[in-house]
Amino acid sequence: MILAGIPTGWYAGTMTSRGSSNSARDKLLDAAVTLIRRNGFAATSVDQLCAAAGVTKGAFFHHFVSKEALGVAAAGHWLAITTPLFADANYHREPAALARVLGYLDLREALIDGGTDAFTCLAGTLAQEVHQSHPAIARAAEAAIVGHARTLEGDVAEALADHGVADVDAASLALHFQVVLQGGFVVAKATGDPQAARESVRHLKRYVTLLCRGEKR
């Protein structure tokens, strides 16, 4: 799921389904996902993380040598927990590659709901805030965002080939999807209105459709 844009309700359901068997480390990472998307990395303290996770500060430092180490792990945790949402989505059942690509974008639009802390991307939030102050976290955020983009490359490449689009690189286009999504999240945060993010996804769907079905170049 990249990285980005998982609603609070879905994420809370995932935490509940894992139940009381969660380790202290998992509880801290789950708390980090919630608190950092809501408050940002700098404004989220170790004490707040421990209180939200229901663990001691000793447990925190048993698993993470520093808050930065937790930030690095949280970016990887985000990719791990969100990937199944996309991997199991119905759009994979579409026989045509273009329909799968557009179905992915339909899902991304549908996930933009509620407050910005419910649908924005943890990896993107971290990258925006700490790309200079905590380069290790920024690299982990990059791995999560790019890692998600790579899961789209096969369908994108097949859609381009099916429609005779030979002058567009599939990996670059898949990453462009993430650029549009992350940019939409930033605008939604700035305006307090998720509609701009939804409209950005719709523009992207129009672009992909025109690219594949438009007039012969």
Locus of tokens 């380069």:
135
Locus of tokens 């700098």:
42
Q: Which of 108, 117, 106, 105 is nearest to 44 (CA)?
A: 117
pTM value is 0.88
Q: Which of 145, 144, 142, 214 is nearest to 174 (CA)?
A: 145
User: Residue 22 has what pLDDT?
Assistant: 78
Domain ranges of the chain: 8-213
Locus of tokens 């808050």:
67
User: 4 near 32, Cβ under 8 Å?
Assistant: no
Tell me how far apart the terminal alpha carbons of the chain are, to the nearest angstrom.
34
Domain 8-213 annotated CATH 1.10.357.10: yes
User: Residue 213 has what pLDDT?
Assistant: 86
Mean pLDDT computed over 7-27: 61
For 73-126, what is each residue's pLDDT tens digit?
999 999 999 999 999 999 999 999 999 999 999 999 999 999 999 999 999 999
Please state, in angstroms and rounded to a whole number, the distance separating the CA atoms of residues 188 and 192: 5
Q: What angle do CA 133, 136, 141 make, to 5 degrees?
A: 100
Confidence of residue 16 (pLDDT cuts 50, 70, 90): very low
Mean pLDDT computed over 145-153: 97
Distances (CA, A) of 108 to 61, 139, 185, 208: 36, 24, 12, 15
Confidence check: pLDDT of 5 > 50: no
Q: Which of 39, 154, 156, 157 is nearest to 105 (CA)?
A: 156
